[in-house]
Structure 1
Amino acid sequence: MSNERRVIVHPDKETLAGSVAARFLTKVVDLIAEFDEATVVLTGGSMGIAVLAAINASPARDSVDWSRVNVWWGDERFLPEGDPERNETQAREALLDHVPLDPARVHPFARSDAGIDLDAAAAAYAEELAEHAARDSRQPHFDITFLGMGPDGHIASLFPERSGIREREATVLAVRNSPKPPPERLSLTLPVINSSARIWLVVAGQDKAAALGLTLAGASINEVPAAGVEGRRRTLFFVDGEAAAEVPENLIDPGQFWTGADEG
């Protein structure tokens, strides 16, 4: 098995979203054919949601047996149900409400109006992960985990110079005083994220170039949390030309096309 990192550069955000969507649909069809299900972890952010919208717009969308897809989230803003800033709300509007998912296979984080506080919400998600855990694990087998990356190099709701990025025991964090609003969030921890077979980071914009360069140069995860991301099989960075400005040339994948033979 390979856990190599690769950077795949696209000319603009629209092409980037469309390419990742096409790759996702092909991979999920293959996973369901092989394992009878596929488990994905979603992210928020402009590109994370753009990819979901591109999946929904694809002519190949209905080639997936969506009833066999399990959906989790890497992090969430602790806000009321239906709040437009929740990753769940945005994902449902972009894709999830448009495909025939099994509601029992969709696992959102608790909402702030659910009658529990932030710590209880984190504990509840950790318990839900454990209930669906793979053998000898504390979480399900994740096939594909989507991540975005902030200009500061944060992933999910794991921020630089915060203790959360160094957490190794818990599976879910209650995040307070987030440097990005809203202040209260929930997040998977780095070991849980890295348990995924494939991690796909989708990164766009000039403001991400410096952090992406540092990520790929092996910066400290305390300073650049994205530097700690490592899927068990493959870690892929899908980026646009602006975000790739400081990526070492030797890490950029020269191929422009992908086939099902690619393990990604």
Structure 2
Amino acid sequence: MSAVRTVVVHPDADALAVTTGARLLLQVLDAQAVRAPVHVVLTGGTVGIRLLAEAARNPLRDLVDWSDVHVWWGDERFVGASDADRNALQARTALLDSLPLPPGNVHEMPAARPEDPSFGPDEAAAEHAAELARYAPEGAATPVFDVVLLGMGPDMHVASLFPGHPARDAVGTPTVGVHDSPKPPPSRVSLTFEAINGAREVWVVAAGAEKADAVAAGLAGDPESSAAHVHGTERTLWLVDAAAAGTAATDA
């Protein structure tokens, strides 16, 4: 089944964050009308965390049955659990800690364990793969994600799947340990393309003129672009501000 791809251009980064935060809440509400539980994959980064903060301020949040929502992440920095760089910690501060989410419904990727130097990104990826499998349909490696949110870097990476990096080529597994990342910190854990592309909807979110070339490459299907390799089974949304869109949206 070929997913529908839609490009939505917002006037600026503020509008992008506000509307995407609302869109996420509406997506959860719509999904809950037809199935339970609902599985959502969050992203970090400036826009990813900002849109969660906007969702926290939106009255729609109080209409969601959070007991039926499971939260995951597309990738995580492999640092200590209390490190401010962790996507999960930032997401908790921006939104999750203010919601009546059962603790067991928040599935953070494993953090580094200073007391156990043998536990590295590969071990964390394997542990998280087992957690994903616990909530997957029989025979599948992951839950059916209702929506996967992905930020995108100027270098065209999504999650922690960097162009030219060997972790991007991982197959047969939903998670991968990332070593020697070109962007600090060097150690990370990421969902793979296989896991991301099993989602009903995948949303690529980008803001700023520094992302314009990456947006253009992704929309054009440049094989070097990690963003060009992600899609939902039902819909793929590119949610960008005008600066990131450049002229690419008119050609999408």
TM-score (norm 2): 0.95
Q: Which residue of 1 aligns with 2:93?
A: 93
Matching residue of 2:56: 56
Secondary structure (helix, strand or coil) at the match of 1:82 reads coil
Which stretches in structure 1 are left out of the alignment for 5+ residues?
A: 252-264
Partner of residue 7, structure 2 = 7
> In 2, Cα distance between the equivalents of 1:186 and 1:235?
23
**Equivalent residues of 2:204, 2:227 under 8 A apart:** no
Distance 1:105 1:61 in 2: 16
* Letter of the structure 2 residue corresponding to residue 232 of structure 1: T
Shift of 1:145: 0.3
CA-CA distance at 1:230 after TM superposition: 1.1
Q: How many residues align?
A: 249
C-alpha contact (below 8 Å) 2:141/2:173 kept by paired residues? no
Per-residue CA shift, 1:219-247, capped at 9, x if unaligned? 11xx2111101110000000000000031
Residue pair 2:7, 2:249 contacting (<8 A) in 1 also:
no
1:205 maps to 208
Q: Which residue of 1 aligns with 2:41?
A: 41
- Superposed, which structure 2 residues align to 1:74-223 within 5 Å? 74-113=74-113, 115=116, 116-220=119-223, 223=224
Give the C-alpha shift of residue 250 in structure 1: 4.4
Percent identity over the alignment? 47
Instruction: Provide the secondary structure at the position in 2 that maps to 1:6.
Output: strand
Larger CA deviation: 234-243 vs 162-171: 162-171
Q: What is aligned with 1:230?
A: 231
Q: Is there any run of 5+ residues in structure 2 with no aligned partner, and where?
A: none
Letter in 2 for 1:4: V
Change (3 A) 1:2 1:160: closer
Which sits farther off after the overlay, 236-245 or 56-65? Answer: 56-65
Aligned position for 1:259: none
CA contact under 8 A between 1:212 and 1:246: conserved in structure 2? no
1:112-169: CA deviation from partner (whole Å, max 9, x where unpaired): 1274322211110011111111233111110000000000100000001112222221
Kindly state the Cα deviation for residue 180 of structure 1 after the two structures are TM-superposed: 0.5
RMSD after superposition = 1.3
Residues of 2 paired with 1:70 and 1:216: CA distance?
A: 30
| Residues in 1 aligned to 2:91 and 2:107: alpha-carbon distance in whole angstroms | 12
Q: Indicate the residue corresponding to 1:256 in structure 2.
A: none
Following TM superposition, by how much is the alpha carbon of 1:103 offset from its aligned partner in structure 2, in angstroms?
0.9
Give the secondary-structure state (helix, strand or coil) at the position aligned to 2:9: strand
Amino acid paired to 2:68: R
- The residue identity in structure 1 corresponding to 2:135 is H
The residue identity in structure 2 corresponding to 1:150 is G
Alpha-carbon displacement from aligned partner over 1:18-58 (angstroms, at most 9, x marks no partner): 11111111121121121132110011100110111010011
Matched residues in 2 for 1:156 and 1:60: separation? 27
Q: Which residue of 2 is the match for residue 239 of structure 1? A: 240
CA distance in structure 2 between the aligned counterparts of 1:126 and 1:19, rounded to whole angstroms: 32
Q: 2:66 aligns to what?
A: 66
Which stretch shifts more, 5-14 or 128-137? Answer: 128-137
Q: Distance in 1 between matches of 2:160 and 2:2?
A: 27
SS class of match (1:242): helix
2:121 and 2:23 mapped to 1: Cα distance? 35
Q: TM-score, normalised by structure 1?
A: 0.91
Aligned to 1:147, the other structure's residue is in SS state strand
Partner-residue secondary structure (3-state), 1:160 = coil
Quote the offset at 1:87 in angstroms.
Answer: 0.3
